[in-house]
Amino acid sequence: MYNIAVFNRKNHPILISQKLKLIEVADESQLLHQLNFIDGVVIHRSEGEDQNKVLELLLSIKRQKYFPIWIREENGDRLIRKVAIELGALSGFDSTSSSDEIVRVIENTLHLIYQKRLVDSGENEKGTEIGLNELNLSIIMPNNTEIRLTQLEYKLVSLLASNRNQAFVYEDIYKHVWPSDNEMNTGHKKYRIANLVFHTRAKLKQHKVNPNVLQTVRSVGYRLNI
């Protein structure tokens, strides 16, 4: 399930999809504050709406997050769609585009993006590796099972995945997961890391994944054992 924000000032009919969670937003600041929790944006430009505002919003989004953006243009203005695509939008839709067509394009695009991320993250032909989904704060197993993590759990796993089968020492793990924490007690640091590993392993076990994928390296730290 992907989270798609639909920026819609005029309350036009919302898109409907069983594979997408569509979140209707009418306020720019609200949209920009939600970027870390969504997988893409559809910007709906209503008839008579200033095209510069639409383009400025597109640029504001691109400055904060790199993910798919689509323009839905009610005026049939090909020029703004062309400019929007040049600025980074994936494609544009007009009044002749049906809701079913728009939804299918979005679903297909997201599927291709996430499948590519799985390949780029090291999934081999035998399907023995795991993938990372930063937008959803999740890991994706070889059988395509997606396991949602908390932000701290994802930080831990993503660090270990950055150099698989190599052990990371406790101090480096702590600095990565809690970068602004000034804790000096080494024992307390190890306790917090071990507690985080415990909860992450529990989620793996719930999904019938060997929890020892997060392997303890005695007196050193942890590693991702692939």
**pLDDT for position 118:** 43
Give the residue from 53, 58, 62, 56 showing the smallest Cα distance to 71. 58
**pLDDT for position 30:** 85
Domains of the chain: 2-117 (3.40.50.2300), 122-224 (1.10.10.10)
Confirm if 151 and 144 have CB atoms less than 8 A apart: no
Confirm if 102 and 170 have CB atoms less than 8 A apart: no
**pLDDT for position 226:** 67
Spell out, as residue ranges, where the chain has pLDDT lower than 50. 116-119, 121-128
Q: Distance between CA 198 and CA 211 in Å, rounded?
A: 9
**pLDDT for position 202:** 93
Confirm if 23 and 3 have CB atoms less than 8 A apart: yes
* Unique residue bearing structure tokens 């036009």: 12
**pLDDT for position 222:** 93
**pLDDT for position 127:** 45
| Per-residue pLDDT tens over the stretch 13-54 | 666 777 777 788 888 888 888 887 788 888 888 777 777 888
Confirm if 84 and 54 have CB atoms less than 8 A apart: yes
**pLDDT for position 76:** 64
**pLDDT for position 197:** 95
**pLDDT for position 153:** 93
Helices (H), 5-144: 28-33, 51-64, 78-86, 99-120
| Residue 137 burial (CB count, 10 A) | 19
**pLDDT for position 180:** 86
DSSP 3-state assignment of 137?
Answer: coil
> How does DSSP classify residue 163?
T
**pLDDT for position 122:** 47
SS (H, E, C) 181-220: CCCCCHHHHHHHHHHHHHHHHHHHHHCCCCHHHEEEECCC
Confirm if 83 and 57 have CB atoms less than 8 A apart: no
* Unique residue bearing structure tokens 């990565």: 176
Confirm if 132 and 117 have CB atoms less than 8 A apart: yes
Sign of the alpha-carbon dihedral angle for 105, 110, 116, 118: negative
**5 membership: H or E segment, kind and range:** strand 2-8
Q: Which residues of 48-75 are buried (b: 16+ CB within 10 A; e: fewer)?
A: eeebeebbebbeebeeebebbbbbbbbb
**pLDDT for position 146:** 83
**pLDDT for position 121:** 46
**pLDDT for position 115:** 58
**pLDDT for position 24:** 83
